[in-house]
Amino acid sequence: MNNNEKRQHPRLPVEVEVELHRSNRSMCLVWTDDLSSGGVLLTMNGHGDWPPVGSRVQIRVSGPLGGDEEAPLVDAIVVRHTEVGIAVQFDETYVQ
């Protein structure tokens, strides 16, 4: 890890299709770029309406898991925009 980086968790390159859910918006399909235990970078794939920094979103792995179980929705907060998408931090404290 670069000494100038502020990351607390190591990141792994992982490409998985996920659903991005936002209040008052249609769900859209995006891809993960990298993943850590604290968050994930999502590639927005040409979706022009990015959620603003500080907004709450939910993400879910697209498609069934083993045994046809649906993956859970995971609460997250948008922490920054990148050239290709958004970085979100998992929010285990948020209760709807």
What mean pLDDT comes out for the span 26-52?
93
What is the rounded CA–CA span in Å between residue 73 and residue 41?
A: 16
Question: Above 50 in pLDDT, residue 1?
Answer: no
What is the rounded CA–CA span in Å between residue 24 and residue 22?
A: 6
Measured CA to CA in angstroms, residue 2 lies from 32, 39, 54, 80, 83 at distances of 21, 18, 25, 19, 20
Phi then psi for residue 67, to 5 deg, are 75, 20
Measured CA to CA in angstroms, residue 13 lies from 29, 33, 35 at distances of 18, 6, 6
Q: What is the pTM of this model?
A: 0.83
Question: Above 60 in pLDDT, residue 70?
Answer: yes
Question: Above 60 in pLDDT, residue 63?
Answer: yes
